[in-house]
């Protein structure tokens, strides 16, 4: 069995455990389910896999209204109806009105692709189970035309989900699982360096110090994550700020805490002088 190993990219840093999970999924041709707090790089992972393996990425962002069927194909009946009354096209040719969804495209593609099913937990609870059948068989039939779409090359399937949601057991058992832990300080420093290669070491140390202390403040509804840290540093640099310390008036705090309520929680913690653990 041939497969290319994944080892991260220069833009995306991985742990050895994450690489093992990706490689298990690649070698065993099973979907990879990645869970973790927001901002821990779940979505980016799929892009990194695609770019490392030189494959095209098909992104399927799941919404609360997404149905499994939408991923296979949609039959644009409204367009057909419209055409039949006002249009000119050949309404008899139903194939013209069959549009492949992301899953359908990934099966129909000539070359192997990476299919990212992003934030699967957003959809209905039954959604993952509905997907199982097609993911297992890697083929489906378009009922309206009788055409069968068969994957020539099994797509690499990456599925992301937020840590807080439950997924059905049957679905979970099919997947290779990895939980991306929130990066520890060293890894975080390296991730920040990826995005800000020429960042001053002193500012890096100070921002990390403030960031991790802030995450320790009790009672926050949404703790700041990697993307907020990266954005915060970007704003600080643009404003020419060279040094920060965690305090009530810390510059651009709003880049880290997006909820009004959290800003109040922090203000209170800071004013009580109850310094969070370092």
Partner 1 sequence: MFVPFLYELRDRGVKVGAQEALSLAQALGLGLHRGTLDGFYEVARALCVHREQDLDAFDRAFAHHFRGVPDDALALTDELLQWLEQPAGKRQLTELERQLLERIDLVEARERLRRRLAEQRERHDRGNRWVGTAGTSPHGSGGIHPTGIKVGESPGGRGALEVAAERRFRDFRSDVTLDTRQIEVALRRLRAFVREGALDELDVEATIDKTARNGGELEITMRPPRRSNLRVLLLLDVGGSMDPHAHVCERLFSAASRATHFKELRTYYFHNCIYGRVYESAALMRGIPVLQLLQDCDPSWRLIVAGDALMSPWELQSSGSRWSFGEDSGAPGIAWLAHLAQHFLHSAWLNPEPAVAWYGTAEVIRRVFPMYRLTQDGLLEAVQHLMRGGGRH
Ligand X SMILES: Nc1ncnc2c1ncn2[C@@H]1O[C@H](COP(=O)(O)OP(=O)(O)OP(=O)(O)O)[C@@H](O)[C@H]1O
Q: Least distance from C-beta 78 to partner 1, angstroms?
A: 7
- Please identify which residue in 103, 115, 151, 191 interacts with ligand X, judged by CB under 6 A: 191
Verify binding: residue 38, ligand X, rule CB under 6 A. yes
Site string for ligand X, 214-233 (x = CB under 6 A): ------------xx--x---
Phi, psi (rounded to 5 degrees) for 34? -115, 125
Verify binding: residue 13, ligand X, rule CB under 6 A. yes
Q: How far is it, in rounded angstroms, from Cα 158 to Cα 175? A: 9
Verify binding: residue 192, ligand X, rule CB under 6 A. no
Evaluate whether 211 touches 256 at the Cβ level (below 8 Å).
yes
The residue with its CB nearest to Mg ion is 43
Which of 264, 267, 265 has the alpha carbon at shortest distance from 246? 267
Phi, psi (rounded to 5 degrees) for 182? -65, 130
Q: Choose the contact partner of 182 out of Mg ion, ligand X, partner 1, none; CB within 5 to 8 A by kind.
A: none
Q: How far is it, in rounded angstroms, from Cα 138 to Cα 150? A: 6
* Interaction site with partner 1 (CB under 8 A): 1-5, 7, 15-17, 19-21, 23-25, 27-28, 30, 33, 35, 77-78, 81, 84-85, 125, 163-167, 169, 172-173, 175-179, 181
Evaluate whether 226 touches 39 at the Cβ level (below 8 Å).
yes
Q: What torsion do the CA atoms of 255, 261, 262, 263 make, to the nearest 10 degrees?
A: 60
Which of 218, 219, 195 has the alpha carbon at shortest distance from 207? 195
Verify binding: residue 41, ligand X, rule CB under 6 A. yes
Q: Least distance from C-beta 53 to ligand X, angstroms?
A: 17
Q: Choose the contact partner of 44 out of ligand X, Mg ion, partner 1, none; CB within 5 to 8 A by kind.
A: ligand X
Which of 270, 241, 275, 239 has the alpha carbon at shortest distance from 257? 270
Q: How many residues bind ligand X (CB under 6 A)?
A: 17
Phi, psi (rounded to 5 degrees) for 222? -130, 105
Q: Least distance from C-beta 237 to Mg ion, angstroms?
A: 25
At 156, which helix (H) or strand (E)? strand 156-162
Q: How far is it, in rounded angstroms, from Cα 14 to Cα 48? A: 10
What secondary structure does DSSP assign to 115-140, as a single string?
A: EEEETGGGS-TTHHHHHHHHHHH-EE
* Interaction site with Mg ion (CB under 5 A): 43
Q: Choose the contact partner of 272 out of Mg ion, partner 1, ligand X, none; CB within 5 to 8 A by kind.
A: none
Phi, psi (rounded to 5 degrees) for 50? -60, -45
Verify binding: residue 51, ligand X, rule CB under 6 A. no
- The window from 40-48, 98-106, 200-208, 212-220 that contacts ligand X (CB under 6 A) reads 40-48
Name the residue nearer to partner 1 (CB basis): 139 or 165. Answer: 165
Q: Least distance from C-beta 85 to partner 1, angstroms?
A: 7
Q: Least distance from C-beta 31 to ligand X, angstroms?
A: 17
Name the residue nearer to ligand X (CB basis): 103 or 188. Answer: 188
Q: Which residues bind ligand X (CB under 6 A)?
A: 12-13, 36, 38-44, 160, 162, 191, 194, 226-227, 230
């Amino acid at each position: 069995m041939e497969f290319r190993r994944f080892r991260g990219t220069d833009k995306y840093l991985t742990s050895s455990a994450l690489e093992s999970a990706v490689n298990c999924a690649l070698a065993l041709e099973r979907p990879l389910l990645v869970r973790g707090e927001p901002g821990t790089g779940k979505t980016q992972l799929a892009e990194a896999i695609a770019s490392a393996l030189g494959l095209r990425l098909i992104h399927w962002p799941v919404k609360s209204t997404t149905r499994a069927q939408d991923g296979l194909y949609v039959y644009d009946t409204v367009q057909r109806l419209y055409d039949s009354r006002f249009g000119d096209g050949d309404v008899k040719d139903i194939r013209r009105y069959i549009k492949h969804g992301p899953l359908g495209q990934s099966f129909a593609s000539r070359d192997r692709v990476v299919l990212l099913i992003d934030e699967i937990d957003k959809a209905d609870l039954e959604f993952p189970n509905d997907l199982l059948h097609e993911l297992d068989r890697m083929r489906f039939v378009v009922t309206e035309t009788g055409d069968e779409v068969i994957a020539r090359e099994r797509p690499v399937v990456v599925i992301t989900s937020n840590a807080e949601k439950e997924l059905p057991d049957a679905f979970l058992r099919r997947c290779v699982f990895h939980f991306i832990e929130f990066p520890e300080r060293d890894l975080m420093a390296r991730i920040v360096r990826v995005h800000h290669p020429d960042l001053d070491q002193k500012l890096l140390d100070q921002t990390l110090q403030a960031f991790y202390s802030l995450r320790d403040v009790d009672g926050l509804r949404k703790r700041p994550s990697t993307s907020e840290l990266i954005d915060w540093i970007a704003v600080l640099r643009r404003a020419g700020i060279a040094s920060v310390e965690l305090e009530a008036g810390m510059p651009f705090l709003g880049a880290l805490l997006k909820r009004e309520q959290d800003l109040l929680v922090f203000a209170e913690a800071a004013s009580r002088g109850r310094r969070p653990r370092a």
